[in-house]
């Protein structure tokens, strides 16, 4: 990998966007690479990618998605619909004085990145997806799908998050502890065994954290956890959870893109132990039709969900290799 020892420090900036303002962290110069985090994270989830991409000759920019960190947090839940987040990304590109960018996302950020490339192919000339595969819009209304998961005794986490105030009541009294639990539950080295129950589901009337393991995953230090916890203790969880509360609106808003493929050069990297990869194996298998510009698809053996933090050296290598093919 390129040498990062002589790089200038990352720069924090606030730029105008339809949300009001978007906070970003920028490092390096060259072609613009926009990095989008997932839930429950922030720009900080890209801390190990910013210097690597900058050293490789790119202008790496990680944002706080609307509702997170130092970016604006509108009160209206509908303000967090997917198309609004896409326009924030376009505004960031323009505010940075660029006409186009490569967009890379993890978790929810992967969905936001894919939709950005789908809706604005003139702005987002290539798209990288980490952990969550691209699956075109289609099928029944999402809330109906998720409501049917888990059977009578259990409830799927997405349905749980969709109910306003319910998850907040679990998380906000102990943000730091809850974050430690969700990070550990989906990390390869601390993932609970099958006998502990799937942490993506909760017993009806229970809490999601009841299935979280104790301890921190190897990729996360106490001080790094403090950074994440500090952001959510300041902002609350409502803005972050609003993404789940707009899935039906997104389904309606994106009706014109039903079944649509993304034609730009693309990359997918998933974790072999990540439910997002295994549950959506059919979507990965459909890439010849849904991502006809696919340059590479990689599943890292033994990796969990927090991919760029669990396996930064491998992920950085794959990202730089892919980016160099786009020049």
How many Å apart are CA 39 and CA 158, to the nearest integer? 12
Q: In this structure, what token pair is assigned to residue 199?
A: 């942490």
Report yes or no on 196 lying in a domain: yes
How much is the pLDDT for 2? 54
Known catalytic residues are 107, 305
How many Å apart are CA 17 and CA 193, to the nearest integer? 43
pLDDT, tens digit (0-9, with 9 covering 90-100), for 233-284 = 999 999 999 999 999 999 999 999 999 999 999 999 999 999 999 999 999 9
Q: What angle do CA 38, 39, 44 make, to 5 degrees?
A: 65
Report yes or no on 21 lying in a domain: yes
How much is the pLDDT for 148? 87
Report yes or no on 2 lying in a domain: no
User: β-strands 20-27, 11-17: how paired?
Assistant: antiparallel
Sign of CA dihedral 110, 112, 115, 120: negative
Those residues of the chain that have pLDDT short of 70 are 1-4
How much is the pLDDT for 1? 52
Beta bridge partners of 154: 203
Close Cβ partners of 195 (under 8 Å, ≥ 6 residues apart): none
Report yes or no on 149 lying in a domain: yes
Instruction: Count the domains in the chain.
Output: 1
Contact 134, 41 (CB under 8 A): no
How many Å apart are CA 75 and CA 206, to the nearest integer? 28
How many Å apart are CA 286 and CA 292, to the nearest integer? 10
How many Å apart are CA 54 and CA 28, to the nearest integer? 4
Long-range contacts of 165-173 (CB under 8 A, 24+ apart): 167/208, 167/237, 167/241, 168/236, 168/237, 168/238, 168/241, 170/207, 170/208, 170/209, 171/232, 171/237, 172/236, 172/237
Report yes or no on 276 lying in a domain: yes
Contact 66, 80 (CB under 8 A): yes
Of 94, 97, 92, 127, the C-alpha closest to 112 is 127
Report yes or no on 4 lying in a domain: no
Q: Report DSSP state, residue 135.
A: -
Report yes or no on 3 lying in a domain: no
Instruction: Tell me which residue range forms the domain holding 130.
Output: 11-326
How much is the pLDDT for 3? 66
**Phi, then psi, of 86 in degrees rounded to 5:** -60, -45
To the nearest 10°, report the CA torsion of 148, 112, 121, 23.
160
The domain that contains 265 carries what CATH number? Answer: 3.40.50.1820
Report yes or no on 271 lying in a domain: yes
How many Å apart are CA 182 and CA 110, to the nearest integer? 19
């Amino acid at each position: 990998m390129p040498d990062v020892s002589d790089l200038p420090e990352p720069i924090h900036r606030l730029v105008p966007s339809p949300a009001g303002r978007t906070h970003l962290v920028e490092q390096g110069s060259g072609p613009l690479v926009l990095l989008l985090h997932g839930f429950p994270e922030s720009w900080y989830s890209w801390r190990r990618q910013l210097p690597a991409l900058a050293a490789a000759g790119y202008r790496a920019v990680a944002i706080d998605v609307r509702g997170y960190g130092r970016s604006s947090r509108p009160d209206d839940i509908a303000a967090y619909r997917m198309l609004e987040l896409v326009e924030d990304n376009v505004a960031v590109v323009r505010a940075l004085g660029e006409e186009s960018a490569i967009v890379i996302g993890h978790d929810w950020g992967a969905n936001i990145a894919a939709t950005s490339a789908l809706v604005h192919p003139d702005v987002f000339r290539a798209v990288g997806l980490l952990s969550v595969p691209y699956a075109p819009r289609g099928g029944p209304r999402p809330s109906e799908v998720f409501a049917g998961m888990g059977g009578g005794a259990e409830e799927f986490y997405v349905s749980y998050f969709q109910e306003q105030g319910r998850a907040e009541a679990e998380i906000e009294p102990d943000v730091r502890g809850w974050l430690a639990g969700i990070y550990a539950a989906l990390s390869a080295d601390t993932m609970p065994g099958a006998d502990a129950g799937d942490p993506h589901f909760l017993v009806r009337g229970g809490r999601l954290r009841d299935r979280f393991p104790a301890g921190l995953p190897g990729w996360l230090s106490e001080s790094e956890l403090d950074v994440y916890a500090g952001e959510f203790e300041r902002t609350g969880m409502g803005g972050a959870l609003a993404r789940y509360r707009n899935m039906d609106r997104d389904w309606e808003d994106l009706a014109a893109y039903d079944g649509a493929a993304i034609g730009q050069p693309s990359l997918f990297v998933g974790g072999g132990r990540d439910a997002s990869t295994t549950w959506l194996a059919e979507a990965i298998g459909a890439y010849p039709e849904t991502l006809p510009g696919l340059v590479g698809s990689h599943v890292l053996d033994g990796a969990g969900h927090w991919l760029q933090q669990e396996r930064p050296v491998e992920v950085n290598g794959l990202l730089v290799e892919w980016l160099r093919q786009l020049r």
